[in-house]
């Protein structure tokens, strides 16, 4: 990661919205979003996009507190995993969650994303629920942070 400049931007302009959407839809094809849906999410959640130089690498979502729990989601495209990019997004998400007054941190990972599940578990998250959206066959896994990460 040190040879490339890491840039993280808020998903506010059209390019960032489309890049956030590209990463989200690549990692969660079962719940693909339109540009309009991403813009709507950007109005209620904190969305960021991560670039290595000019190359799109990942995105993140931080959802505001619900019953004290803030949801932090970091997504990295498969070709760029295990290089520290997920850690950058995750740490930024934790910082934002604390700014929002989180008493608990949660995340959500598509069950077929074994690397994402391992990342969450390595950071102290434990599974709390699984559910399948109507018409889908792959479950989403809800996890809650149990360590002081």
90 in a domain, yes or no? yes
Inside any domain, residue 95 = yes
Torsion, Cα of 93, 98, 103, 104 (10° steps): 10
In a domain, 1, yes or no: no
The band of 145, judged by pLDDT with boundaries at 50, 70 and 90, is very high
Q: SS3 sequence, 92-139?
A: HHHHHHHHCCCCEEEEEEECCCHHHHHHHHHCCEEEEEEECCCCCCCC
pLDDT at 136: 87
Environment class of 74 (CB within 10 Å of its CB; exposed 0-12, middle 13-18, buried 19+): buried
Which tens digit of pLDDT belongs to each residue from 40-89? 999 999 999 999 988 999 999 999 998 889 999 999 999 999 999 999 99
Percentage of residues in the chain having pLDDT higher than 70: 95
Residue ranges making up the domain that contains 36 = 6-145
Q: What is the CATH number of the domain that holds 137?
A: 3.40.630.30
Is residue 11 one of the residues assigned to a domain?
yes
Q: Looking at the domain assignment, is residue 14 inside a domain? A: yes
Could you give the number of structural domains in the chain? 1
* Among 149, 148, 122, 145, residue whose Cα is nearest residue 71: 145
Q: Is residue 93 part of a domain?
A: yes
């Amino acid at each position: 990661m040190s040879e490339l400049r890491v840039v993280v931007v808020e998903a506010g302009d059209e390019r960032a919205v489309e890049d956030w959407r590209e990463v989200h839809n690549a990692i969660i094809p079962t719940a693909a979003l339109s540009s309009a849906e991403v813009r709507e999410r950007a109005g209620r959640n904190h969305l960021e996009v991560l670039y290595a130089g000019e190359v799109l690498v990942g995105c993140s979502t931080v959802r505001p507190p619900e019953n004290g729990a803030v949801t932090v989601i970091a997504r990295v495209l498969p070709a760029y995993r295990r290089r520290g990019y997920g850690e950058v997004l995750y740490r930024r998400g934790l910082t934002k969650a604390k700014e929002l007054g989180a008493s608990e941190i949660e995340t959500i990972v598509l069950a077929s994303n074994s690397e994402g599940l391992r990342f969450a578990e390595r950071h102290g998250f434990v599974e709390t629920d699984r559910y399948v959206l109507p018409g889908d066959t792959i479950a989403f896994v809800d996890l809650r942070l149990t360590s002081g990460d």
